[in-house]
Structure formats: structure tokens, C-alpha cells
């Protein structure tokens, strides 16, 4: 097997090396480079950055004047992370990747944790298919609290090679009984809170895993859960998770059961979370998994089929003793769950929404999640000649930002659970003519901070039932409030505006962290043609653990709104799914798999996936170059978490972006925030038809990892 290693996630130590990237390969005269063969300057930088900085850079700058070969950019490529590795290159096509691409012929498994990828590899070695492997990775990563837990939600796309079609798996939970807009408003909440039992929706991941496995897998539930059970019995916890638990322990202590699991040194007077490398044991979760396996075994012994036996375990979870304990525990902590909420919930197998971009069919789940916004952005961008603009040029970045802002404005207003009336106008939103009209609205000289949702009804027929709300909509209605608390159940205005409190609140605020924080991604493929892309989430630290089930429950209730003027299709109701950010992707070319890709994060997910896709399709990057490439992220859309704020004109950029580009963007009205890395983390599989192999790309920040054979 071939493994894909990790890259650091530490801060940056800046150095001062200069890189001059030329638009052509230059033969350097011997007087300049007596020891090197003809090479590009970026190759020279990689060969000897120190020598380049001190002796050669001035000569190359003089050479550019003498030869007329114009530099594309001068940037601080020499900026390094704490362990000396370079941060993102300004143009990854001219730089080595920090991780090698992954190659496989028979199968490939990529996810957010090395142990999670190993669980997928174990299924392939047992003869399982990509669905089996993906299900095992899902169980393993949620057991490891990879910014989700097993009471969260699962969203998946599966390519079925026999049917030659993409299938959607909707395993997102719903608001419980009593979770009405009036309920939250009566308690002073503008939105459901970020944490705690009143943020919870019904658990979807267990059901999603079992339905995927029963319908499209080949192995037993016992085989698929075996790695997760071993992990629940105890695994050496990594520093990132252990330290996050310690930071969040005050919130964890609010709940009945969570402290006994998450804080093994409770009351010690010092660190109460596990130490990095300590064995982290989840006995209750292991017991829940073993109950499911025992139910499957009993059903098989009684003569039931593989599928029926797995669904017997499903019924025990949602209708039996596991459900009873889950409801008891949640209500003890102040939650609203009922047995009927769990019994009536169903995993939905559904048709995806797909759109063509230059001959490539890109597929997303339906409008209960934000995926169609990426398709809308592609429809807008198809009207532009992106390649001629140049990779990450000021004009290209501006075009991407404007398209994203338009598509996400539509997301914020028009998207919601299609099971609830009225029907979302997706036919109009996905219309190419609508995209052309939106493209014509782009201001090419400066950012438009007042971009608002469009009206898609003229492009599909019918009348707009929410014309009044659309007329009133303005991004200025959702600007950040300076004196707010954005944690726990204190979703109320705060009068303490001290500098110390504001600094602390920014560190924990959904305004900053939720755009990027959270979840994992899972990509799996096999030589038989099965392909799976999953973006699971929910139940991140500090989750409420429901009784003695061991399950950390989702906090996705906060993605609802409580007023129709804030998004008429996404107002909370019992039994309704919130409009979430979780967005796996499959792309087909000539009817066959071309790319499988997904990313962790919040509102940045489809922003990063859009740019990853364009990096490959428009700029010819390899899959590993594309997952590492620096992106921009917009905050102009409404945050899906916390107070659902917007920050028009705010843009995150890579610290490798040249100063000339930054100056041009500032001149167009953007406020820039440079970050060490801005691309994800993205995981992806590209299908090399010429050689009938698979290429894997796994992010260069975080612990994302891939294994292939």
C-alpha cells in the first residue's frame, strides 16, 4: 500500500527569500549560473533558496531587464511553517507539492485521519467495495471526533457503476418536536443556539451509514464497524483533539454525561482533558456499536438477508432501546427529542442536482444543503474567459468573488428543505439564462457590497411568493454586532464591550471559526467503478452526549432561522431539515467518473471546491497541486452559524499572494486577511482514463490521509 503523509498545521515563521516567476523557461547564461543546467527560476529557488536570495536574485532581476522576459509575480515563497516547510506557493504549477499525489489501480481511500483511512483500507482488503470502505471510514472518523461525532449527520453521493448514475444520500437530521420559531423567540434567541441540547437535531449518521451499507455495500455491519469498535475501546488521542477538549471543558461540564467521557481527569485541579497520546476510551459508544452488531447477528441467525439484518440494527437504533436511552438522556439535559422524532425520521435516497460546465457534469445534493450554490457559480463563470485572466490575477479573483457572492446570496434566501412547501425555485436558479443575467450584473471595477438574491421566477414561470421579503433584503441588515456572545446558549446581546472580552469572543466566534472549522471528508473508489464522496459532520466538541449511548449529538439546529425575512425557506419547524453547508461532489465526463471531491469547513466549503475544480479544469493542475493551491474565501454571504452575519468585501487570501495583487484588490474595495493556508482541507480522487488508474489528492494541512493499492 501507498500512504499519504501529514503536513503541519502550525504558525508561520517568515523569511525574506524572493521568488521571480517567469512566463517562459529561461536559459541562464553561465556567468549567472555556472553550476546549473537550463532551468526555470522557480526550479532554481527550490534547488537553493539561500543562494538564490543572497547572490542570484539581483542578477536575475537584471537579466529580466536585459531579456525583456516579464516577471509574473514577486512574492515571499520563502515563508515557512514552524518546522521549516514552505507555506502555499503563489502558483502551485511552478512549485513542488508539499505532499506527493496518491496513485492506485485497484482502490483508494482518503479521509481526515490516518486511522480513518486505515479503516477503509481494511475493508478493501476484506474484498469490500468503495461503499464498504467509505462506511468504515465514516464510523472510524466519527468515533475519533474528527470535528464530528456519531450522532451527527451524513451527506453522500455515490456513483453506481451498474446503473451508471449518481445517487444522493440525505442522512441529515430534523428539528425535534417543539422546536418552533416561537419556542426560540420566547426564550430570547434570534437563532437556535450554537451549542447544547437546544441546538440538536435528530442523529442521521448511524442511519446514513446503515442504509448506504445495506443498499450498496457488500460486507456486514459487524465487519464495517469492527475498526470503530476497536477505536471506541481506546485509541491514542492526538494533540489537536485533546487540546480542543481542554479549551472547551467549561462548556462540556454543563451537560450530564459529557464530562465523564471527555474529561478523564475531572477535578484534578489541572488539565482535565486527556493528554496527547493518552488512550481515549468511549465505553458507552463501543457498547452501542456492539448492540447494533448483535442485532445484525441475531437477524442473520433467524434467516434474514444481509440487507434485512442491517436494517434490523437500524430499527433498534431508531425505535428500540438505543432510541429510548438517547431520548431520556437528551431530555435530562433539557432537549426536546421524543421517540416519535426518531422513529419517524428516514434516510432519503434522492436524485442529485447536476449542471454542465464545459462538458463536465458536476453533481451536488439538493437544496437542503449549499451544494447547488457552487453549480450556480459555475454557471455564472462559464460566461467568462477565466483562463485568459490568469491564475489568481486581480481580475480572476474579483470575478470569483462576485460569482460566489451572487450564488450564495441566492443560497441564503432561496434554499431550504424541499419536503416543506413552498417549493424552492431551483429550475430558475439553475437556468443558464438566469446565470447570464447575473453575470451581466458584475461590477468590473470594484466589489459590490450590496449584492442581493436574484429573482429566478421569470426563468421558470410562476410567481414569487416572497417578493416582499426579497425587496426588503439587504446585506446591511446582517452586519456583525459588536456586543454579542456567540457561544453556548447565550445567543443574546451582551453589554460587556471590553477589549479583553471582544478578543476572547473573536477567538471562539462562529463569525471567524465556523466558516472554516469542522467536519471531515471521505473519498473512496474501486476498480469496479464504485465511487463515494461524503461530507459528514455534527457533534463536534463540545457536544452533548446523549445519555449512555456515547453519541455526541449534532448542533446543526443553529443553521435554521426564526424569521421568514431572514430566509423564508429555512425557518425552523419540527420535522424539517436545516439548510446546511455540507457538500460532497461528484463530476462526470462522458458519463463516467471524472472527479470525486469534498472538503471540511463551513461556508467556505463550496468556495474552496469551486476553485479546486477550476484549478484542474481551467488551469491544468494535477489533483495534488489543486488541493494545495491557495484560494480566496469570501465572507460576503451570511454565516450559517452563530448570528448568521455577513461581512461584505471581506476576503481571506493566502499569505503568498503577491503584494501587487493585494494592492489591486484593496483598490477595488476589498478588506484582506492573509492566512498561511486557504484551501480546505480538500480531499479528492481524479480518474485517469488514459492509464485506467486513480490519482488521489489529500490536503497539506491537517491530518488528512490517503491509502491506495
Cα–Cα distance, 563 to 267 (Å, whole number)? 43
Q: For residues 6 and 234, which has the higher predicted lDDT (pLDDT)?
A: 234
% of the chain beyond a pLDDT of 70: 82
Beta-sheet pairing, 585-589 with 531-534: unpaired
Phi-psi region of 159 (alpha: psi -120 to 50; beta: other; left: phi over 0): beta
Cα–Cα distance, 502 to 481 (Å, whole number)? 11
Q: pLDDT, tens digit, for every residue of 413-445?
A: 999 999 999 999 999 999 999 999 999 999 999
Cα–Cα distance, 161 to 593 (Å, whole number)? 9
Q: pLDDT, tens digit, for every residue of 454-491?
A: 999 999 999 999 999 999 999 888 998 754 433 322 22
Tell me what the pLDDT averaged over the chain comes to.
85
Lowest mean pLDDT among 71-85, 190-204, 590-604: 71-85
pLDDT at 697 over 80: yes
Cα–Cα distance, 254 to 16 (Å, whole number)? 48
Beta-sheet pairing, 360-364 with 585-589: antiparallel
Beta strand spans in 11-137 (E): 12-13, 19-22, 71-75, 80-81, 102-104, 107-111
Neighbouring C-alpha atoms within 13 Å toward the C-beta of 66: 9
Cα–Cα distance, 446 to 323 (Å, whole number)? 54
Neighbouring CB atoms inside 10 A of 25's CB total 11
Q: pLDDT, tens digit, for every residue of 49-97?
A: 333 333 433 343 333 333 333 333 322 233 444 434 345 667 888 888 9
Task: Evaluate whether 160 touches 513 at the Cβ level (below 8 Å).
Answer: no
Q: pLDDT, tens digit, for every residue of 128-165?
A: 999 999 999 999 999 999 889 999 999 999 999 999 99
Neighbouring C-alpha atoms within 13 Å toward the C-beta of 657: 27
The average pLDDT across 4-24 equals 30
Cα–Cα distance, 4 to 137 (Å, whole number)? 16
Residues 6 or more apart whose CB falls under 8 angstroms from that of 302 comprise none
Q: pLDDT, tens digit, for every residue of 672-689?
A: 999 988 887 899 999 999
Of 235, 338, 221, nearest to 291 by C-alpha is 221
Neighbouring CB atoms inside 10 A of 431's CB total 18
Positive or negative, the CA dihedral 136, 142, 148, 149 is positive
Residues 6 or more apart whose CB falls under 8 angstroms from that of 12 comprise 79, 80, 81, 82, 87, 655, 676
Read off the C-alpha cell for 120: 477503509
Of the segments 29-33, 78-82, 250-254, which one has the largest average pLDDT value? 250-254
Cα–Cα distance, 555 to 496 (Å, whole number)? 26
How confident is the model at residue 700, as a pLDDT? 84
Residue with cell 478578543: 503
Beta-sheet pairing, 650-654 with 671-675: parallel
- Counting runs of H as helices and runs of E as strands, what totals does the chain give? 26, 24
Q: Please, which residues bridge with residue 2 across strands?
A: 708
DSSP notation for 338-358: -HHHHHH---EEEPPEEEEET
The average pLDDT across 297-318 equals 98
Amino acid at each position: 500500500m501507498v500512504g499519504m503523509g501529514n503536513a503541519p498545521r502550525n504558525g508561520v515563521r517568515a523569511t525574506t527569500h524572493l521568488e521571480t516567476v517567469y512566463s517562459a523557461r529561461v536559459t541562464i547564461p553561465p556567468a549567472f549560473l555556472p553550476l546549473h543546467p537550463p532551468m526555470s527560476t522557480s526550479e532554481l529557488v527550490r534547488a537553493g533558496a539561500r543562494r538564490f536570495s543572497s547572490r542570484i536574485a539581483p542578477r536575475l532581476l537584471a537579466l529580466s531587464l536585459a531579456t525583456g522576459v516579464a516577471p509574473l509575480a514577486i512574492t515571499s515563497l520563502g515563508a515557512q511553517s514552524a518546522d521549516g516547510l514552505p507555506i502555499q506557493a503563489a502558483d502551485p504549477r511552478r512549485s513542488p507539492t508539499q505532499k506527493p499525489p496518491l496513485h492506485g489501480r485497484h482502490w483508494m481511500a482518503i479521509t481526515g485521519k490516518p486511522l480513518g483511512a486505515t479503516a477503509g483500507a481494511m475493508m478493501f482488503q476484506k474484498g469490500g467495495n468503495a461503499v464498504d470502505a467509505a462506511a468504515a471510514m465514516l464510523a472510524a472518523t466519527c468515533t475519533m471526533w474528527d470535528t464530528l461525532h456519531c450522532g451527527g449527520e451524513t451527506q453522500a453521493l455515490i456513483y453506481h457503476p451498474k446503473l451508471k448514475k449518481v445517487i444522493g444520500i440525505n442522512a441529515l437530521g430534523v428539528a425535534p418536536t417543539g422546536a418552533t420559531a416561537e419556542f426560540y423567540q420566547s426564550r430570547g434567541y434570534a437563532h437556535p443556539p450554537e451549542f447544547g441540547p437546544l441546538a440538536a437535531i435528530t442523529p442521521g449518521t448511524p442511519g446514513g451509514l446503515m442504509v448506504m451499507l445495506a443498499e450498496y455495500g457488500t460486507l456486514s455491519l459487524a465487519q464495517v464497524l469492527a475498526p470503530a469498535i476497536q477505536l471506541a475501546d481506546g485509541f491514542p488521542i492526538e494533540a489537536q483533539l485533546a487540546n480542543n477538549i481542554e479549551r472547551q471543558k467549561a462548556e462540556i461540564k454543563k451537560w450530564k454525561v459529557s464530562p465523564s467521557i471527555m474529561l478523564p481527569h475531572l477535578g484534578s485541579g489541572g488539565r482535565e482533558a486527556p493528554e496527547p497520546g493518552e488512550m481515549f476510551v468511549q465505553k458507552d459508544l463501543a457498547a452501542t456499536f456492539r448492540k447494533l452488531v448483535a442485532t445484525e447477528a441475531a437477524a442473520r441467525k433467524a434467516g434474514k438477508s444481509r440487507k434485512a439484518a442491517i436494517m434490523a440494527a437500524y430499527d433498534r437504533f431508531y425505535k428500540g432501546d438505543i432510541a429510548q436511552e438517547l431520548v431520556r438522556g437528551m431530555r435530562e439535559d433539557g432537549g426536546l427529542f421524543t421517540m416519535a422524532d426518531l422513529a419517524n425520521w428516514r434516510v432519503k435516497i434522492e436524485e442529485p442536482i447536476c449542471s454542465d460546465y464545459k462538458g463536465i457534469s458536476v453533481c451536488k445534493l439538493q437544496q437542503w444543503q449549499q451544494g447547488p450554490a457552487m453549480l450556480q457559480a459555475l454557471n455564472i463563470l462559464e460566461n467568462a474567459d477565466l483562463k485568459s485572466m490568469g491564475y489568481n490575477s486581480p481580475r480572476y479573483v474579483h470575478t470569483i468573488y462576485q460569482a460566489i457572492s451572487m450564488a450564495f446570496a441566492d443560497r441564503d434566501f432561496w434554499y431550504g428543505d424541499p419536503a416543506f412547501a413552498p417549493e424552492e425555485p431551483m429550475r430558475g436558479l439553475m437556468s443558464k439564462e438566469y446565470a447570464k443575467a447575473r453575470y451581466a450584473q458584475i461590477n468590473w471595477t470594484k466589489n459590490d457590497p450590496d449584492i442581493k438574491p436574484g429573482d429566478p421566477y421569470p426563468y421558470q414561470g410562476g410567481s414569487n411568493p416572497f417578493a416582499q421579503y426579497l425587496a426588503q433584503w439587504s446585506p446591511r441588515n446582517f452586519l456583525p454586532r459588536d456586543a454579542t456572545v456567540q457561544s453556548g446558549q447565550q445567543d443574546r446581546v451582551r453589554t460587556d464591550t471590553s477589549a479583553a472580552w471582544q478578543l476572547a469572543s473573536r477567538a471562539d466566534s462562529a463569525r471567524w471559526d465556523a466558516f472554516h472549522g469542522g467536519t471531515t471528508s471521505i473519498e473512496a473508489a474501486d476498480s469496479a467503478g464504485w465511487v463515494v464522496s461524503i461530507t459528514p459532520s455534527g457533534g463536534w466538541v463540545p457536544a452533548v452526549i446523549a445519555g449512555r449511548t456515547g453519541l455526541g449529538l449534532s448542533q446543526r439546529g443553529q443553521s435554521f432561522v426564526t424569521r421568514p425575512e431572514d430566509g423564508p425557506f429555512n425557518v425552523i419547524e419540527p420535522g424539517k431539515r436545516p439548510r446546511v453547508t455540507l457538500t460532497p461532489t461528484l463530476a462526470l465526463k462522458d458519463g463516467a467518473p471524472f472527479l470525486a471531491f469534498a472538503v471540511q469547513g463551513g461556508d467556505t466549503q463550496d468556495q474552496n471546491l469551486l476553485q479546486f475544480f477550476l484549478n484542474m479544469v481551467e488551469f491544468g493542475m494535477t489533483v495534488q497541486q489543486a488541493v494545495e493551491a491557495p484560494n480566496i474565501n469570501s465572507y460576503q454571504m451570511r454565516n450559517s452559524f452563530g448570528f448568521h452575519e455577513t461581512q461584505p468585501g471581506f476576503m481571506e487570501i493566502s499569505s503568498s499572494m503577491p503584494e501587487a495583487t493585494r494592492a489591486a484588490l484593496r483598490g477595488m474595495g476589498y478588506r484582506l486577511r492573509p492566512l498561511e493556508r486557504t484551501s480546505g482541507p480538500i480531499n479528492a480522487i481524479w480518474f485517469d482514463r488514459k492509464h485506467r488508474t486513480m490519482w488521489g489528492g489529500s490536503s497539506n494541512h491537517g491530518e488528512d490521509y490517503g491509502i491506495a493499492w
